Chain A
Amino acid sequence: MSAEPLLRVENLVKHFHVRLGAFGEKAATVYALDDVSLDIQEGETLSLVGESGCGKSTTGFTILNLHRASGGKVIYKGQDLTRLDEKTMRLFRRDLQIVFQDPYSTLNPRMTVGEAIGEPMLFHKLTTRAQLKDKTAALLQDVGLPTRFASRYPHELSGGQRQRVVIARALACQPKFIVCDEAISALDVSIQAQIINLLLDLQEKYRLTYLFIAHDLAVVRHISTRVGVMYLGRLAELAPRDALFQTPLHPYTKALLSAVPETDPERERNRKRQILQGDVPSPLDPPSGCRFHTRCPIAMEVCSRTVPEWSAARPGHLVACHAVNSGVS
């Protein structure tokens, strides 16, 4: 883990300015990301989990400069991506790709599969027109689609097939790093497993690095090297996969794991769930101190006052919790 990371995220902050009220008369700020720091090592799958609105997708978007950061740095190849203008950023986009959640809306309905996959290769001058057809066919094979699909339109394909096309399009640029933003969430269970296997195969073949954003903890446990848990725009815990699932430290991580249902009726019936009370507070007005303190079963007085430090409880196992840091839990 001591090797130079592929990508380093330092104290990333993202605020969205919105207007509220029926006539947009009230200005407000959504505190979407607050002080998120993480390293992504080459060849690993780092997963970010958390509930809707926790900032996991915003993290992915901000790293790729699809959202302008409000503060902090994203260091890739010695450059701070957050400071690049759109033109320079384009040079880096080849290395840094994204696969979105919804394969229905991310493909242009008027472009054939072949055109969709070919466009990034032509743009980045990775192929000549003469070679384009062969390269497209090779990519289709890579993602397990027949080469005749090149002439099809998205509406002729199923959800799983579309997601394969989206992955092929991301691969077309020969990227190093792919953000998978809920890339399998919209698919049926039997298809999800196919796409997960495909992502794992491609990672091995091309030595890809993934930032895998998901809410399904069982899937995340299956594919990740390390896992980060986010709550209301902050990282709560970040640890190697087995450490996180076997010895979670943060009370939010524990609650999240306890809420995941299992395919075992006997165990499910007898299971003592730790059920969190209430809802996630609004990111328009996040709680003071530790943002989890309003729902935390072990909250102390200090939790509502001071933001807990992001510190290593064990080597490589980072957590932001007063109780853990002071040895209470």
Chain B
Amino acid sequence: MTARNAQERLLDVKGLTVEIDGRRGPAVIVDGIDLHVGKGETLGVVGESGCGKSLTMLSLMRLLPNKIKVTKGTAEFDGRDLHKMSTRELRKVRGGDIGFVFQDPMTSLNPVMRIGDQLCEPLIYHRKMAKADARKRAVELLRLVGIPGPEERLEAYPHELSGGMRQRVMIAIGLACDPKLLIADEPTTALDVTIQAQIVDLVKDLRNKLGMSVVWITHDLALIAGLADRVVVLYAGTVVEDAPVDDLYANPSHPYTRGLLASIPTLSDAPTARLSSIGGTPPEPGRRPAGCPFAPRCPLAMDICRREVPKLEPISSGGSHRAACFAVNKALKAA
């Protein structure tokens, strides 16, 4: 693993709140999220659909769709608040210091532009490279992400490549300007396991070579185990647990994290007759219950959980492992 001393924060998000202007009035989708990424650190952001993980990351780049707005909070990147930058300043950051890899390589590449031109675009725009130099760099990038015959591939259109190859091209574009931070939003969800293993291997390798920070958004707790230094678990727009990767899997604390881990069958456990599952369904965005959003599904729920929202509090001596749960904190105080 790279730099474990993640004191120096590259990205520091505080109290981020995102609201949607729905038919039933404004609804909170992301509710005061705090998260940070250290230099050289890989942060896993885990949660199920609708938990706000993608919107959180899109909001950093101000790429939110219409009617969805950031209403509170700050997001400092390298000491500057992304939300206060002018569009012009922000444009320099997007694709420059912050690289993005989106989930769906089928729709996020321009279908009528050759791969080479799409790769050169950020290099010419951000790094002011001459076309010929940009093309040389594009070939290097394609080679870096393991695409065979990179010179010929520059001339290809996205539809001529397989899904795995397209995702590699997406990663190459994300890496084009040597970003300080790479944000990858479920980059392997649409891919088969053997291709997923290739991509994960590639990102690990590049991270170690280039020393960049990575935010990897996923719903897959197994995938992130071997990749992240630290993991943040989201539920219904809030952070419920934040821990160094080994702590999280050895000692999952929030009942949601525990339920999630228990409900994943693995290749190493003895296959049991029934899987443990979390009853009920996550609340719809904008229809969250009062108090802790997980309370209606929680086996440990107490009265207070239905009234008040628990804060993210340290549960380990060093303070690096935090959970937002009344029951966990109560048990800690009693011990």
A interface residues (Cβ-Cβ under 8 A, vs B): 51-52, 158, 160-161, 188-194, 196-197, 200, 215, 217-219, 221-222, 241, 245, 255-269, 271, 273, 275-276, 278-280
| CB closest chain-A residue, reference B228 | A265
Task: Flag if A217 contacts B267 (CB, 8 Å).
Answer: yes
B194 contact from A158, A264, A268, A275, Cβ within 8 A = A275
Report the 6 A-B pairs with minimum CB-CB distance, sorted nearest first.
Answer: A268-B226, A193-B277, A193-B263, A51-B192, A259-B197, A222-B265
Give Cα A258–Cα B267 distance, bound, in whole angstroms: 10
Task: Flag if A269 contacts B219 (CB, 8 Å).
Answer: no
Q: Is the contact region of chain A dominated by helix, strand, or loop, or is it mixed?
A: helix
Given A190-B48, A196-B275, 4 more A-B residue pairs with CB atoms under 8 Å apart are: A193-B264, A193-B276, A260-B222, A261-B200
Give Cα A218–Cα B261 distance, bound, in whole angstroms: 13
Give Cα A52–Cα B192 distance, bound, in whole angstroms: 7
| CB closest chain-A residue, reference B263 | A193
Task: Flag if A215 contacts B193 (CB, 8 Å).
Answer: yes
14 contacts between A and B (CB under 8 A): A188-B48, A189-B48, A189-B263, A190-B259, A190-B263, A191-B277, A197-B277, A222-B265, A260-B222, A261-B197, A261-B220, A261-B225, A262-B266, A275-B198
| CB closest chain-A residue, reference B161 | A279
Task: Flag if A271 contacts B275 (CB, 8 Å).
Answer: no
Contacts of A219 in B (CB 8 A): 265
Task: Flag if B281 contacts A160 (CB, 8 Å).
Answer: yes
Is B195 positioned at the interface, with any CB of A under 8 Å from its CB? Answer: yes
Contacts of B266 in A (CB 8 A): 218, 262-263
| CB closest chain-B residue, reference A279 | B162
Residues A261 and B279 in contact in the complex (CB < 8 Å), given A221-B265, A276-B194: no
Residues A279 and B164 in contact in the complex (CB < 8 Å), given A194-B279, A257-B267, A263-B261: yes
Contacts of B198 in A (CB 8 A): 275-276
Within 8 A of A (CB), among B270-289: 271-279, 281-282
| CB closest chain-A residue, reference B284 | A158
Q: Which range contains the number of B residues in contact with the other chain?
A: 35 or more
Give Cα A33–Cα B116 distance, bound, in whole angstroms: 36
Residues A263 and B49 in contact in the complex (CB < 8 Å), given A193-B263, A221-B271, A275-B197: no
Give Cα A161–Cα B284 distance, bound, in whole angstroms: 14
Contacts of A197 in B (CB 8 A): 274-275, 277
Give Cα A268–Cα B200 distance, bound, in whole angstroms: 12
Residues A265 and B49 in contact in the complex (CB < 8 Å), given A197-B275, A275-B201: no
B186 to chain A, nearest CB (A): 13
A101 to chain B, nearest CB (A): 14
Contacts of B200 in A (CB 8 A): 261
Task: Flag if A245 contacts B260 (CB, 8 Å).
Answer: no
Contacts of B273 in A (CB 8 A): 200
B236 to chain A, nearest CB (A): 12
Task: Flag if B249 contacts A265 (CB, 8 Å).
Answer: yes
Is B300 positioned at the interface, with any CB of A under 8 Å from its CB? Answer: no
B267 to chain A, nearest CB (A): 5
Task: Flag if A192 contacts B263 (CB, 8 Å).
Answer: yes
Task: Flag if B260 contacts A190 (CB, 8 Å).
Answer: yes
Contacts of A271 in B (CB 8 A): 226
| CB closest chain-A residue, reference B46 | A189
A15 to chain B, nearest CB (A): 22
Contacts of B192 in A (CB 8 A): 51-52, 215, 280
Is B221 positioned at the interface, with any CB of A under 8 Å from its CB? Answer: yes
Is B55 positioned at the interface, with any CB of A under 8 Å from its CB? Answer: no
Task: Flag if A273 contacts B274 (CB, 8 Å).
Answer: no
Task: Flag if A256 contacts B194 (CB, 8 Å).
Answer: yes
Give Cα A262–Cα B261 distance, bound, in whole angstroms: 11
A194 contact from B219, B220, B268, B277, Cβ within 8 A = B277
Task: Flag if A158 contacts B48 (CB, 8 Å).
Answer: no
Give Cα A218–Cα B267 distance, bound, in whole angstroms: 5
A186 to chain B, nearest CB (A): 10
Task: Flag if B277 contacts A259 (CB, 8 Å).
Answer: no
Contacts of A258 in B (CB 8 A): 197
B63 to chain A, nearest CB (A): 24
Is B71 positioned at the interface, with any CB of A under 8 Å from its CB? Answer: no
Give Cα A193–Cα B260 distance, bound, in whole angstroms: 10
Is B302 positioned at the interface, with any CB of A under 8 Å from its CB? Answer: no
Contacts of B282 in A (CB 8 A): 188, 190
Contacts of A193 in B (CB 8 A): 263-264, 275-278
Give Cα A328–Cα B272 distance, bound, in whole angstroms: 35
Task: Flag if A265 contacts B259 (CB, 8 Å).
Answer: no
Contacts of B279 in A (CB 8 A): 194
Residues A218 and B201 in contact in the complex (CB < 8 Å), given A261-B222, A266-B246: no
Is B60 positioned at the interface, with any CB of A under 8 Å from its CB? Answer: no
Interface string of B187-207 (1 = CB under 8 A from A): 000001111111011000000
Is B184 positioned at the interface, with any CB of A under 8 Å from its CB? Answer: no
| CB closest chain-B residue, reference A218 | B265
A129 to chain B, nearest CB (A): 33
Give Cα A286–Cα B219 distance, bound, in whole angstroms: 34
Task: Flag if A256 contacts B222 (CB, 8 Å).
Answer: no
| CB closest chain-B residue, reference A197 | B274
